[in-house]
Structure 1
């Protein structure tokens, strides 16, 4: 009993001491990432900033992402290489604009007539197999991991002083735009011109550019291009821009699973935010914007452009079996939507 009483006494003292002076555990330094987006700051305030702010707040000091806008650290066409070599930990862009060395890169950004509405794009990825194809393609590239694709706005052409009311009116127009759609539209005489994103507004004011084939109404108004341009062509080349989130594979491997899941969840949140922001913005600004005169190429004439896209699709399908698989999915999806009719097509 004496021994037992002594044990209880000393144990109590030890426990009290432990409670009074807990061991000090040194906090691990937070993970720091640098992410650059394709977009300038005014647009980035909507297409990515809310996501990064949400992630940093929820990460609770364990990780912090520094956000950089178009061309701040590296030129946009060098985003892929900068991410691959670790200069950047993550990127938000489309495949074509950042020159991804994969055989499906042309389908990023604006691929002519592959979608009619913004909801088409996530359905193609989630329900028709594009998620698996993109993951497979980037799985063959060293040190880059593709995470997710989402929809942005439709593609319209905005011009400063030269309205487009026929296909012939495109001839000779110098426009800032995304690679794949620009290559397609060049067959009608449109001249794609590449300048840094921040220089687009000045280039239109000085006459270096006649307009932009880069975005929809929401962006044109948000970034100030609607203040420079006078005309908006209502015929759109596709219903949604296809943008993705990418990470440096080594950086991604250092992120613990719960923060990886948090990052993926905030990406999904960003996709949802943009889906609503663009869908509502496009309609409202067409009706209430007031800054742009709307023009239209007659349907009979525009139908020839839509028809021409079939040959463009087949041209890209011939590049690789995987590219052909993507085109087959686009064709299958288009056929289903057209047969479904209203509200999917019609």
Structure 2
């Protein structure tokens, strides 16, 4: 019998006697949660991922489960959202896990590390490998359960007043670089600066920093970085595919009905795919506009890439020797990455290499 018809014909007493009421009552309960984002509202891609998620939750719950989304700095500092979820100030946060490497470097493995995986590989590790299982075991120690909720794809390497021509140009460079990547940059002689997205332009304009990276052409153009630094590097060797996560207070999530838990999982999965699609669709046009307006593209020199790779591997080895959380997760991450790269070098890379050499 269709559930609504059953409820109408049996009446509440009959439903209770049949043992059907708890799931129905929970599924129909009105609920309001707050989500703290780490991003400025002006970015319809990365901040917008939380809006997409919240809208889907509302749609799938018939409007009974409402989540209000708050930009970075509105309820708490952009990098304070994990603390907000941990202490229950808000139920959810939408953020990049590597921002919190200061708590434990293992956070970075949930987002992106230098010379890590691309977005497809990261999603594969999370959903079909051990990634989600291992990261959830780690996040449990912070009273958090996570859901992948976006990926930027491979990023650009940032904006510079002068192009980087060799390793010598990296020495002493005050560079805004997100989270964990600064640990490798520092080993190259760079002075890393961890600054929220909404504050980067002012820092670059005032000369507080010499260079800055954010994500890619669409967002970078919106933030106006091309107006204060004309040279645009590629690729971001520190972010081959940065995952954005939905962090939920574990007690709040445990208190949800099975239906609402399923809705959150489905809405996060939708937002995860939607964000990647938006970046892939919007970055090409933005890059064309930037170049047409005078932006000068340059590729990181080989000596910079090789030095960064060498230092990143040395760092990971050191962390494995002193941080058991890192060692456990990174061992699985590294094995999965090796298998993925073996596969991608044939079909994916072979196809991409040919197609990108054609004049279409």
TM above 0.5, yes or no, is yes
Of the three residues 326, 329, 333, the one matched with 2:329 is: 326
Does residue 95 (structure 1) correspond to residue 97 (structure 2)? The answer is: yes
| Consecutive aligned runs of 4 or more in structure 1 exceeding 6 Å deviation | 26-29
- Deviation of 1:280 after TM superposition, in Å, equals 3.4
Rounded to whole Å, the distance in 2 between the matches of 1:263 and 1:319 is: 36
Of the three residues 306, 310, 326, the one matched with 1:307 is: 310
Counterpart of 1:221 in structure 2 is: 221
Residue range with higher mean Cα deviation, 281-290 or 128-137: 281-290
Counterpart of 1:6 in structure 2 is: none
Runs of 5+ consecutive residues of structure 2 not aligned to the other structure:
1-10, 12-24, 351-360
Does residue 342 (structure 1) correspond to residue 343 (structure 2)? The answer is: no
Rounded to whole Å, the distance in 2 between the matches of 1:301 and 1:186 is: 13
Aligned pair count?
320
Does residue 250 (structure 1) correspond to residue 251 (structure 2)? The answer is: yes
RMSD over aligned CA atoms reads 2.7
Rounded to whole Å, the distance in 1 between the matches of 2:172 and 2:240 is: 25
- Deviation of 1:159 after TM superposition, in Å, equals 2.4
Does residue 107 (structure 1) correspond to residue 91 (structure 2)? The answer is: no
SS of alignment partner, residue 339 of structure 1: helix
Counterpart of 1:198 in structure 2 is: 198
Rounded to whole Å, the distance in 2 between the matches of 1:127 and 1:322 is: 21
Shift of the 129–308 alpha-carbon distance from structure 1 to 2, 3 Å rule, reads: same
- Deviation of 1:150 after TM superposition, in Å, equals 4.4
- Deviation of 1:173 after TM superposition, in Å, equals 2.2
Shift of the 94–213 alpha-carbon distance from structure 1 to 2, 3 Å rule, reads: same
Rounded to whole Å, the distance in 1 between the matches of 2:212 and 2:230 is: 12
- 1:218-242 deviation line (CA, Å, top 9, x unaligned): 3212433334331111132131112
Shift of the 149–283 alpha-carbon distance from structure 1 to 2, 3 Å rule, reads: same
Q: TM-score with structure 2 length normalisation?
A: 0.79
Counterpart of 1:78 in structure 2 is: 80
Rounded to whole Å, the distance in 2 between the matches of 1:186 and 1:90 is: 32
- 1:152-210 deviation line (CA, Å, top 9, x unaligned): 23343322422222222122222222121011111222222234432221221111122
Of the three residues 266, 288, 300, the one matched with 1:297 is: 300
Alignment check: 8 A CA contact 2:41 2:48 kept: no
- Deviation of 1:135 after TM superposition, in Å, equals 1.2
Counterpart of 1:269 in structure 2 is: 270
- 1:40-79 deviation line (CA, Å, top 9, x unaligned): 1122453322222222233223221110111211112321
SS of alignment partner, residue 214 of structure 1: coil
Of the three residues 53, 56, 59, the one matched with 1:54 is: 56
Residue range with higher mean Cα deviation, 74-83 or 144-153: 144-153
Question: Which has the larger share of helix?
Answer: 2
Q: Find the structure with the greater CA-based Rg.
A: 1
Alignment check: 8 A CA contact 1:232 1:293 kept: yes
Runs of 5+ consecutive residues of structure 1 not aligned to the other structure:
1-17, 19-25
Rounded to whole Å, the distance in 1 between the matches of 2:202 and 2:346 is: 42
Counterpart of 1:21 in structure 2 is: none
Shift of the 127–58 alpha-carbon distance from structure 1 to 2, 3 Å rule, reads: closer
- Deviation of 1:281 after TM superposition, in Å, equals 3.5
- Deviation of 1:99 after TM superposition, in Å, equals 5.4
Rounded to whole Å, the distance in 2 between the matches of 1:240 and 1:227 is: 26
Rounded to whole Å, the distance in 1 between the matches of 2:32 and 2:304 is: 53
